[in-house]
Amino acid sequence: MTKPVVGVIGNAHAIEGKFNTQLVGKRNLRAVAEVAGALPLMFAASPDITDMEALLDAVDGILLTGGRANVHPACFGVEPDPRHEPYDHDRDALALALIEACVERGVPLFGICRGFQEMNVAFGGSLHPEIRDLPGRMNHRMPRLENGEVHPDPEVVFADRHEVRLAPDGVFSRLLGCEAIRVNSLHGQGILELGKRVVVEGVAEDGTIEAIRIADAAGFALGVQWHAEYDPQENPINRVLFQAFGKALRAYREAP
C-alpha cells in the first residue's frame, strides 16, 4: 500500500528582500514523514497558482504550519496596525477557504500555530495581535537575549514553557491520556473570540487558548497553538498528535 499524501502549506518569503519564494520548515516535513508516516507534499499558499479543488483531490490531509506573518486583521473585521506586520494576504485567502473545504469534505486537517489561528478565523473567530498585552497574560513569544536578539540555542527557544490544561473527556485528553501537558511557546498573536464551530480543548495557565477542534467536522480537524512539529520524534505529547493525524490520513485514504 502506498503512503498517504499530506499537503503542507507554504509561506511567502523574500530572499534578500527581492526573490519571492514559498517556504516550509523542514521539521514540518520530517514530522509528517517520520511520525505521521505520510509523504509530505509542499504546496504554494497562493490562490492564483494553487487550484484548491485539484489539491484536495490529490492529498489525504492538510498540514497548516506556523509562519512569520500574522493573519491579516481584515479577515476578522479589525483595522491593521503596522506594528503587527508582516502579513501574508495570499496565504490568508487560500488557507481560510481551504479549512472550510477540508472540514466539509472530511479531509484530515492539522493546524499548528498560525494554522491554529487560521482555523479559528475561518469559522468567524477573531485574534489578538499581542496576547501578552491582555491583563493577566504571560509573554508567549520566543525567548530572547538581553540585547533583544532571538536566543541562539534551539533547545532553549523550543523548550516547554507552560502548562496546558486539557478539557475533561475531550479529544486531546482522550488521545493523550492525561489532564495537563507542558508545551513550547513561540507566538505573539492568539485567539480572542472563538469561531462558531471552534471548541476549546486546552487552555494555558494564563487563560490563553492552546488547543481546539472543529465541532461536527466530518474528519480529523484539530489545532494547537504550540509548535508540535519541532520534536514529535522524541516528545511523547507531539508524537501522539502526529500519530493520530497519520491514523486519520490512512483511514481517509482507504475509505471508499
Instruction: Write phi, then psi, for 122 (nearest 5 degrees).
Output: -60, -25
- Written as one string, the DSSP assignment of 23-59 is E--HHHHHHHHHTS--EEEEE-S-TTT--HHHHHHH-
> Which residue, 229, 189, 181, is CA-closest to 205?
181
> Which residue, 97, 102, 100, 67, is CA-closest to 85?
67
Q: Which long-range contacts (CB under 8 A, 24 or more apart) does 142-145 make?
A: 142/185, 142/186
Active site residue 187: no
Active site residue 227: yes
β-strand partners of 5: 39
Task: Give the C-alpha separation, 229 to 234, whole Å.
Answer: 11
Whether 233 contacts 239, CB under 8 Å: yes
| Residues contacting residue 68 through CB under 8 Å, at least 6 positions apart | 11, 13, 86
Catalytically annotated residue among 84, 113, 140, 187? 113
Task: Give the C-alpha separation, 204 to 218, whole Å.
Answer: 28
Active site residue 229: yes
Active centre residues (catalytic)? 113, 227, 229
